[in-house]
Structures are given as C-alpha cells and as structure tokens.
Chain A
Amino acid sequence: MDYQTGLAIAAPLTVGIAAIGSALGLGKAVGSAMEAMGRQPEAIAKIQTGMIIGAAFIEALTIYALLAFLLVMGKIGA
C-alpha cells in the first residue's frame, strides 16, 4: 500500500472520528446544560453562555478536522 492509498483511507476516517467526538461532546454538553437549567432556573443566562462557548469550541475543532481533510485531499493523486 503506497502512502497515497493510506492517505485516501485515513483522511475520511479522520473527519468521521472528529464528527463522532464532537457529536458525543455536544450531546453531553446539552444534556448537562438542560439538567443544570432544571436544577437552577435562576442561572439560565450563565448556563446558556457556557453552553454557547462550549459548542463554539466543539464546532471549531470539527472545522479544523474538515480543513485538515481538505488539505490532505489535495495531496492525494498529486
């Protein structure tokens, strides 16, 4: 197996694994936020802010994985 075949297998796997990790992290974050809102309704604004920041970080990591994928795709078949 040459390195280009390895890249062609690894690149989509990378994005897939990143997407799965992000989905799990986001799911846990939303679940915990809903639980915290139920326990402390007076702290909703702070919980939502934390939730938004966490979601932005998680999304950014997935976008980096997609960007790395596109960079690697440019090397395949070159």
Chain B
Amino acid sequence: MNTIIEVNDLTKKYRKSEALRGVNLALQPDRIYGLLGRNGAGKTTLMSILTAQGFASSGEVRVFGEHPYENERVLNRICFIRESQKYPDSFTAEHAFRSAALFFANWSQELADRLAADFQLPLRRTIKKLSRGQLSAVGVIIGLASRAEITFFDEPYLGLDAVARQLFYDRLVEDYSRHPRTVVLSSHLIDEVANLLEHVIVIDQGRIIMDDDADTIRGSAFTVVGSADKVWSFLGDREIVHTDNFASLASVTALGPLTENETRAAAELGLELAPVSLQQLIVRKTMSASSAASGVTNRSFSEAAR
C-alpha cells in the first residue's frame, strides 16, 4: 500500500512538558481517520507539525513522501483549519471563502454555498462578530469545500448544535463518497463520529495508544455481566480492561474476540454479553494507560465512561 503520511519517532517538547513522545504513524490514502484523545493529548500539536504550521523537536515527518515545511508541492494538497483558526479582522465569511478559492485547486464554490445555506451562516457579517458555532462552521466549510487530498478537521464541532453537527457528518460522508480523499478528524466526542471512521488513532499524553482499523477495534473487546465467580471463571486469563462490582455481581470488560463456543458457554452460565462501544473502549484504554503511566489506580472509571 502507498503511504501518504509517515511519521517516525516524532517528539515535541515545550519548556516544561512533552506534547508528543515518540509518535509513529503511517496513513493510507482515501480513508477517514479519527484522531481521538482527551483535551491536551497532543492532537492539534500533531496536526500542526504534519502541516508544517508547527515544528517538531525531533523525529521525521513525510507527507506525500516529502517534508512539508515550506514545500508548496506538499502544502498545495493539504488543508488544515485549526479549532482556534484566526481570520483577518475585517473579513466576512464570504471574504474567507473567496481567499480559500485562490489557493485550493479543487475548491468547490458550489459546495461552499450549499454548506453556508445548510449552516445558516451569515456571509456578510464580519467573522469576529460570529458566534462560536458560526465560527466553527466557517472552518468546516473551508475544509470540506477545499476538497484537498488530505483534509484535517480539528474539533470541528465546537459550538455547533446537534443539527449542525449531524449536517457536517452527513455532508462529509456524502462528499467523501463522491470525491475520495484522506480525512483526519480530531475529536473527543467519540460516539458521534464513531460511525464515520474507518481507522482510529488514539493519542494520550503525547503517545499513540491505539492505531487500528475501526472494525477491528470494535470487535476487540466485550463486556460480560453476571455473578462474579462465574464471570471470572468464564474469562480465564483474558486481559481485563475494566471491572465494575455490584455486590455479588460483576461487569467486566475484557479484550479479545469471542468464538461461537464461548458465546454459547456464556449463555449456559447465565452470563450476559454486550458489545463495547468505541467510546467506552477508548475511554477505558486511555484511563488504564494514564493510570499505568502515573501509577495511580482510578476508581471512578465507570462514571467517566458513562
């Protein structure tokens, strides 16, 4: 397979902290990637470095086989509107779109117009007077209408209401199916974007803790509920991600696919099996990774996982 983004042992150090620690990645063309992780996990830093807006402390980045820094051959094919994107003070959304049209070869004005109508974006109002949601909409529209070969969306939904968010997801899938490209969607609203994603990358405290096909990840864990001793004997020596105890009952999330025999055995033991949502799995993985890193066991897992 041809790799369009390749990252080797990338680190980014700030004066007092490390934003990225030894990141390795390889992204394939024409897929939708989810870059998931908590606030401050390093998502924006990583995307900034991939698009040469930011600088790495060490490590190597290749986009379309070349280093992106000051490289028009690479940058011409990329679009990255950051979550806190700044616009010139005097600009309206219309000015921003007109400017974007100058630089993105595949820019679709038709799509931009349609999206602006969908999001009910006031085109003639200066951007600094827009609400947070409308500001996000400007970024989302530039990202989608640019039809760049690699498009990064950085927490694109901030301030958008549920309807607008759904519109964004729908339009993204629709336009992606007609004009395939590589999309990297950074998000911490995992459940909302789970169905869009073909590949999931989870970053936590600057480390990649998960990098796999979305379907593989979904089938990679399950939850079993029942009386505690039966649950534990059923699980054997499987790797446990999470445990909840209610009196003599236990609800345990474990890794690994289940065979048909195992499913039947569980039923005979009176145990309930349930799939684990992407969000639950990621939340638990992230928490076990951070408690392992800090050496603290956190008892309130289930609350955060909801």
- A and B: interacting chains: no
List B residues at the A interface (Cβ < 8 Å): none
